């Protein structure tokens, strides 16, 4: 055994100690022991490198990752729900706009801005089928009241791109044309809008002619039409939001909505009478509806009424009618008009009547109304000229017997 090398380079032999030589192991000493596997034998453990782990250059320094930052790097990024919703809506609207343009390229050519705006607002695209469905629904529900020679059976219908904003449908009697806007609000089925316009179309000419001079004619006409439209089963195939047209929100000076006033008229005369007047043009039914309307709609001054009083009172009773008319207006909460009295009173205008005299007229008018009932209202405020003229004649006879001239 070499222990050291001296300065001369000779190998110095170590001192041998007797009995220090290793002895060979006996065979019985290995009993119960097992041989270890070689160092190069295969193992079940496998080391795999991360697929995206960058390979560092030999001279690069490896950054150290602290235990606090390691969990944060493994967490996924949080998603803002508002941002996600905005992205989804943007994609949906873009898809709808593309579908609208592809399906109806003519709409985009005629009105590109309106077409895109309709797609953004999820507006429905009206079609000729909607017009036909609305027409058929009206015929199915009210057909037995519509005369066979109604001019509406030959009316034209079309999808229009030229209606004013917020107008979804229109009946044009001068052209005998029912128009439906190409874009209809999502909440209302297009066929229901068409049904409203076809009810205008099927309104009997006599009903319109005898009521159109009423100061509240537009409220009466649209209110009754909307009321009858509500009776027609909806044309919506899958759903209907229940939203009503705008006329349900329009109000009279009395505070009633247009459709509520129409409902009050129907309650006074009955549905059968209303339908016979509105669609059939029945003379007696129109008289009853006009009389009821005189009590429901605002009772205001009318030059038509003043002219009818002058005609009825030419022979006698003109002063009584004129003074009672002034009292009726005051009882209805209306001011006296600045219109000419047509020489029926010794004053130039109704507004020239002294206040103390006007109070006496109001008192006598209230007493006359108690005696005459509906005839009193029809005489001064009926929407139908024929009904009003008849009522004025009956009221004149009552006033001649009971009225005490004030002026």
Q: What pLDDT was estimated at residue 221? A: 97
Measured distance CA(167)–CA(246) in Å, rounded = 10
Which residues in the chain show pLDDT less than 70? 1-77, 79, 87, 89-123, 237-243
pLDDT score of 244:
75
The CA-based dihedral angle spanning residues 380, 386, 390, 392, taken in that order and rounded to the nearest 10 degrees: 20
> DSSP letters along 54-72, please?
PPPPTTPPPPP--TTTHHH
CA distance 216 to 223: 10
Secondary structure class of 152 (helix, strand, coil): helix
Side-chain-side CA neighbours of 89 within 13 Å: the count stands at: 9
Beta bridge partners of 178: 157, 171
What pTM was computed for the model?
Answer: 0.73
Alpha-carbon distance of 400 to 318, in angstroms, equals 10
381 and 287 in contact (C-beta within 8 Å)?
no
The predicted pLDDT at position 343 comes to 94
The span from the CA of 133 to the CA of 270, in Å, is: 28
Q: What is the reported pLDDT for 334? A: 95
Determine the Cα–Cα distance for residues 212 and 341; give it in Å rounded to an integer.
Answer: 24
Q: Backbone phi, then psi, for 348, in 5-degree steps?
A: -75, -50
**Residue 192, token pair as written in the block:** 């229901």
Distance spanning both ends of the chain, measured CA to CA:
160
pLDDT digit string, tens, across residues 290-338: 999 999 999 999 999 999 999 999 989 999 999 999 999 999 999 999 9
Output the pLDDT for position 407. 94
- The per-residue pLDDT for 188 is 84
DSSP notation for 111-143: -HHHHHHHHHTT-EE--HHHHHHHHHHHHHHHG
Q: What is the DSSP letter of 45?
A: -
Residue 183: per-residue pLDDT: 80
> Can you give the pLDDT at residue 166?
81
């Amino acid at each position: 055994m070499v222990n050291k090398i001296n300065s001369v380079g000779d190998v110095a032999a170590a001192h041998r100690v007797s009995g220090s030589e290793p002895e060979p192991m006996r065979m019985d000493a290995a009993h119960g022991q097992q041989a270890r596997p070689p160092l190069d034998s295969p193992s079940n453990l496998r080391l795999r490198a991360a697929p995206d782990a960058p390979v560092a250059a030999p001279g690069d320094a490896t950054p150290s990752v602290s235990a606090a930052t390691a969990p944060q790097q493994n967490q996924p990024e949080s998603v803002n729900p508002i941002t996600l919703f905005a992205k989804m809506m943007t994609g949906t609207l873009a898809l709808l706009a593309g579908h609208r343009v592809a399906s109806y390229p003519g709409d985009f050519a005629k009105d590109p801005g309106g077409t895109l705006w309709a797609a953004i607002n999820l507006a429905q695209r009206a079609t000729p089928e909607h017009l036909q469905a609305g027409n058929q629904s009206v015929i199915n529900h009210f057909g037995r009241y519509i005369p066979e020679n109604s001019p509406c059976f030959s009316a034209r219908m079309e999808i229009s791109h030229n209606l004013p904003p917020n107008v979804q449908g229109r009946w044009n009697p001068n052209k005998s044309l029912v128009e439906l806007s190409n874009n209809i609000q999502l909440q209302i089925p297009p066929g229901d809008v068409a049904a409203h316009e076809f009810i205008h179309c099927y309104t009997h000419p006599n009903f319109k002619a005898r009521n159109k001079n009423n100061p509240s004619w537009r409220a009466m006409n649209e209110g009754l039409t909307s009321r009858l439209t509500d009776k027609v089963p909806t044309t919506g195939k899958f759903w209907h939001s229940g939203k009503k047209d705008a006329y349900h929100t329009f109000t009279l000076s009395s505070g009633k909505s247009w459709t509520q006033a129409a409902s009050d008229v129907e309650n006074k005369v009955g549905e059968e009478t209303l339908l016979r007047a509105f669609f059939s043009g029945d003379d007696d039914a129109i008289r009853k509806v006009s009389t009821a309307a005189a009590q429901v709609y605002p009772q205001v001054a009318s030059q038509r009424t003043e002219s009818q009083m002058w005609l009825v009172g030419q022979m006698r009773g003109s002063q009584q009618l004129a003074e009672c008319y002034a009292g009726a207006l005051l009882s209805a909460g209306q001011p006296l008009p600045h219109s000419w009295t047509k020489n029926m009173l010794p004053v130039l205008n109704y507004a020239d009547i002294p206040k103390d005299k006007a109070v006496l007229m109001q008192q006598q008018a209230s007493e006359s109304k108690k005696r005459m009932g509906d005839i009193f209202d029809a005489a001064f405020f009926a929407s139908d000229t024929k009904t009003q003229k008849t009522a004025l004649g009956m009221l004149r006879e009552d006033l001649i017997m009971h009225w005490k001239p004030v002026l």
